Amino acid sequence: MPNERVPTRAGVIEAAKKIAAILPPTPLLPVEINGTPCWVKAENLQPIGAFKIRGAWHRLTALSDAGRAAGVVAVSSGNHAQGVAWAAKRLGIPAIIVMPHDAPQVKLDATRALGAEVVLYQRPGEDRDAVAAAIIAERGGTLVHAFGDPWVIEGQGSAGIEIAAQLGHEPSRILACCGGGGLAAGLALACPNAEIYPVEPEGWDMVGQSLAAGEIVRAASDAPKTICDALQPIATKPINLDVLIGRSSPGIAVTDDEVRAAQRYAFSHLHLVVEPGGAAALAAALAGKVKLDLDTVIMLTGGNVDPHAFAQTIGGAN
Amino acid sequence: MPNERVPTRAGVIEAAKKIAAILPPTPLLPVEINGTPCWVKAENLQPIGAFKIRGAWHRLTALSDAGRAAGVVAVSSGNHAQGVAWAAKRLGIPAIIVMPHDAPQVKLDATRALGAEVVLYQRPGEDRDAVAAAIIAERGGTLVHAFGDPWVIEGQGSAGIEIAAQLGHEPSRILACCGGGGLAAGLALACPNAEIYPVEPEGWDMVGQSLAAGEIVRAASDAPKTICDALQPIATKPINLDVLIGRSSPGIAVTDDEVRAAQRYAFSHLHLVVEPGGAAALAAALAGKVKLDLDTVIMLTGGNVDPHAFAQTIGGAN
C-alpha cells in the first residue's frame, strides 16, 4: 500500500502536543561516559516501558470514527505491540497484534494484559506482514506499521521535541537504537540541526547498510542471532529511508557483548532496567564508536526484558 | 555531643535551593498500585544512586573554611557514605567513612572510587559511633551523622520541596523508607500538611517503636537479619524523634519477602533498579499496608545493590 502522506516536522510538533497532553516527559538524565558528560533519554520509563507509545498514540488518535470502529492490526516483536494495545485500550479501539512466537514472554503477557488479541507467527520463516495482510483482508481494520507509517514516524519524533525543550536547545547529536528506522526518521525531523546516528545490532544493521547503498538492503536469510529482539525487522521502508538519506550519519553496528555491557552499565550506574534493543545506542557510546559531547543525547528506548534473561546478563558481570 | 541547632522548614527551603543549583530534580513518576494511581519519587536516579546526596551537600556546604580544611568523618552502611564522599570530592574536603564490613561491595567500591578513605567495623558487635569518635579524637574533623544532624535532616527534606513543586501542591501523604529517621523528619518539615509514614524492616522498626513508646527504643541485640542493609541503625536520635513525635503517622514494618516483591515490581513495571532498603516504602504500598490516593508519593530512596543479589531477587520471580 502506498504511503501518500509524508511525515513532516509540523506533524512531529503536533504529535508532541498530543502526547504531552497525556504523558509526562520522560527524564533526560545526566551521565558521564568515558569521561564526557552527556545525556540519556529514559524512554524505558514510559508507562509501557518503551518509546513506541508515542507513534501508536499519534497514529490511533488520527483515525476517523469509522477507522476506530473497524479496529487496528499491528505487527511487532513486543514494544510497538504494547504501544498500540495501550493506545487502543485508552481509545476503545479493538486491536489485533501479530507477534513472533519467540517474543519475550513479558512482552506477550503485557500486550495481552492491555486487552489486545495476539496472533503468533514463526520467526524466521513466516512473513509477518503477510500474516497481518491476511487478517485485514478477512476481518478489516487499519494496519499500524511499526515504523513504515508517517504518523508513527512523527509520533516517535516527539521525543526529539521533548529533548530540545529539556536541554533548552537542540542536541548536537542523538544516538538512536534502530530497528526499521521510525525513531531515527522522527528524530531527524524533530531536530533538523542534530546529527542522527542509527545504532543497530551487527548483522541486522539494515538501515546502516541501506544508507550506505542508497537503497533498501534486506537482511540476509542467514543473518546471525541477536539478543536485540526489538531491532530485527527484515528491512527498512522507503518512507523511512527517504527521510534519512542525506540527513542521517552513517549507521553504527554493535555486538551482543557490547549490548550486554551497556545493560550492566545502566544497571549499576544509572539504576535503570534497559532491554537489549533499548541499550544499543548506549552500547555504541560506551564502546567509543561515536564522539560524545555535552549536548549529545543517547536514547534508552525500552526496558521490557524477561527477568531471567536480565538476571543472567547482570549476574555474569564481574 | 548536643545538637544545638534545630532543623527548620526555612532550613529545608534553603537546602532545596542549594541542591537545585547543582542537581536536577529526580523524576516523579506516575504509577498505579493495586488499582490506585499515585506517584513514585525516583531518588535511586540521583548521581550516587540515593537521596543521601541531599543531606551531605547541605551539611558540607555549611562548614566554615576551617571546618572544610579539617575534613569530615561519617558512619554509614553505604549510601550516606557515597553522599558525603561525593560532596567532599566536589568541595575538596578530605573524608573518612566508617562502614560495616558486610556492606554491599558496590557501596564500598563506589565510596572509595569517590576518593574517600574507608574504615571498616564489624556489624554487629562494634559501636560504629565509637569508631568514628575515636577517629575524630585522633585526627580531628567534623562528624557528619547519617541522620542525627540538623543540616542532614534539612537536606533530605529538600526532596519534599521538589515533590510539591512537581505535583503543583503538597502531597497528601508520603511513604518514606526509614532507617534513623533523617528523611522522614526532613519530609515532615518540608510538607507540613502531608501525612508522613516511616516504613522500616520488621525487627528494625526502631522509629516506629520509638513513636509508639514516645521515647527512643533501641534494636534488640538479637534483632533478626534483614536484607535492607541501609535501614538498620540501632536507634533513632532525639533530634529526629523530636520532629516526628506528634507529627508522623505510626510506623509501618515490612518483611524481606514484601521488599523483594517490591524490587521485582520496580524492575518489571517501572524499569527501575531499587535496592532492598530503597524498596521498603513501595513494599508497604503493594502489601496494602497504607491507604493510597492520587496525591500519595512513595519514596524510592536508593538503587545501590550488588548485581548477584539483584539477579537472585528478580530471577526468582514467577
The mean pLDDT values, 10 residues at a time, for chain B of 318 residues are 82 98 95 96 97 98 97 94 97 96 90 95 84 95 97 98 98 98 98 98 97 96 91 94 97 98 97 98 98 98 96 76
* ipTM of predicted complex: 0.94
Task: Give the helix/strand (H/E) hosting A83.
Answer: helix A79-91
Q: Which CATH architecture has domain A54-144?
A: 3-Layer(aba) Sandwich (3.40)
Cα–Cα distance measured from residue B46 to residue A30, given in angstroms and rounded to the nearest whole number: 10
Closest-CA residue to A77 (of A229, A280, A184): A229
Lowest-pLDDT range of A100-109, A206-215, B173-182, B201-210: A100-109
| pLDDT computed for residue B3 by the predictor | 52
Chain B residues touching A312 at Cβ < 8 A: 311, 315
Task: Give the helix/strand (H/E) hosting A72.
Answer: strand A72-75
Which of A41, A52, A107, A237 is the catalytic position?
A: A52
- pLDDT higher than threshold 90 for residue A3: no
What are the residues whose beta carbons fall under 8 Å from the beta carbon of B145, sequence distance 6 or more?
Answer: B74, B75, B152, B237
Q: Nearest CA to CA, how far is A314 from chain B (Å)?
A: 6
Closest-CA residue to A317 (of B276, B309, B304, B44): B309
**Nearest 5°: phi and psi at B146?**
-65, -25
The angle at the Cα of A65, spanning A63 to A70, to the nearest 5 degrees, equals: 80
Bridge partner list, A252: A199
Annotated domain spans of chain A = 9-50+149-314, 54-144
Cross-chain Cβ contact B273/A274 below 8 Å: no
Chain A residues touching B303 at Cβ < 8 A: 271
* Grid cell digits, residue A25: 516527559
The answer to whether residue B52 is catalytic is yes
More confident residue, B198 or A1: B198
Q: Which residue of A has its CA nearest to B27?
A: A27
Chain A residues touching B308 at Cβ < 8 A: 315
- At CB < 8 A and 24+ separation, what contacts does A289-294 make? A289/A252, A289/A254, A290/A173, A290/A175, A290/A197, A290/A252, A291/A173, A292/A33, A292/A34, A292/A36, A292/A38, A293/A36, A293/A38, A293/A172, A293/A173, A294/A36, A294/A37, A294/A38, A294/A172
Cross-chain Cβ contact B318/A311 below 8 Å: no
Secondary structure class of A290 (helix, strand, coil): coil
Cα–Cα distance measured from residue B161 to residue A271, given in angstroms and rounded to the nearest whole number: 23
The angle at the Cα of A223, spanning A217 to A226, to the nearest 5 degrees, equals: 115
Cross-chain Cβ contact A314/B310 below 8 Å: yes
User: CB count, 10 Å around CB of A133?
Assistant: 16
* Grid cell digits, residue B53: 546526596
Q: Which residue of A has its CA nearest to B106?
A: A268
What are the residues whose beta carbons fall under 8 Å from the beta carbon of B56, sequence distance 6 or more?
Answer: B74, B80, B83, B84, B86, B87, B88, B144, B152, B155
**Residues on chain A bordering chain B, Cβ-to-Cβ distance under 8 angstroms:** 24, 27, 29-30, 42, 44-45, 47, 49, 106, 264, 267-268, 270-274, 303-304, 307-308, 310-312, 314-315, 317-318
Secondary structure class of A292 (helix, strand, coil): coil
First to last CA, chain A: 50
| pLDDT computed for residue A124 by the predictor | 73
Sign for the CA dihedral angle at B13, B18, B20, B23 comes to: negative
The answer to whether residue B76 is catalytic is no
Q: Which of B106, B163, B268 to probe the A interface (max A CBs under 10 A)? A: B268
Kindly provide the residue ranges of all beta strands, DSSP E only, lying in B66-178, ordered along the sequence: 72-75, 95-100, 117-121, 142-144, 173-177
- Percentage of residues of chain A with pLDDT beyond 90: 90
Q: Nearest CA to CA, how far is A262 from chain B (Å)?
A: 14
Cα–Cα distance measured from residue B31 to residue B41, given in angstroms and rounded to the nearest whole number: 10
| pLDDT computed for residue A317 by the predictor | 43
Q: Which of A114, A268, A274 to probe the B interface (max B CBs under 10 A)? A: A268
pLDDT band at A318; cut points 50, 70, 90: very low
* Amino acid identity for residue B85 in this structure: A
Chain B residues touching A25 at Cβ < 8 A: none
Helix locations, B146-181, DSSP H: 150-167
Cα–Cα distance measured from residue A57 to residue A53, given in angstroms and rounded to the nearest whole number: 6
Average pLDDT (A84-106) is: 94
More confident residue, B254 or A229: B254
Q: Nearest CA to CA, how far is B123 from chain A (Å)?
A: 25
Helix locations, A175-317, DSSP H: 182-190, 206-213, 238-244, 256-265, 280-286, 307-315
| pLDDT computed for residue A129 by the predictor | 87
Closest CB to A267 among B307, B315, B318: B307
pTM for this predicted structure = 0.95
Which of A41, A76, A77, A158 is the catalytic position?
A: A77
Q: Nearest CA to CA, how far is A71 from chain B (Å)?
A: 27
Cα–Cα distance measured from residue B313 to residue B309, given in angstroms and rounded to the nearest whole number: 6
A9-50+149-314 maps to which CATH number? Answer: 3.40.50.1100
Cross-chain Cβ contact A307/B268 below 8 Å: yes
Two domains, one topology: A9-50+149-314 and A54-144: yes
Task: Give the helix/strand (H/E) hosting B254.
Answer: strand B252-254
Environment class of A213 (CB within 10 Å of its CB; exposed 0-12, middle 13-18, buried 19+)? exposed
Cα–Cα distance measured from residue A161 to residue A261, given in angstroms and rounded to the nearest whole number: 29
Q: Which residue of B has its CA nearest to A40?
A: B45
Sign for the CA dihedral angle at B166, B170, B175, B179 comes to: positive
Which of B52, B76, B210, B237 is the catalytic position?
A: B52
A19-63 per-position pLDDT tens digit: 999 999 999 999 999 999 999 999 999 999 999 999 999 999 999
Secondary structure class of B175 (helix, strand, coil): strand
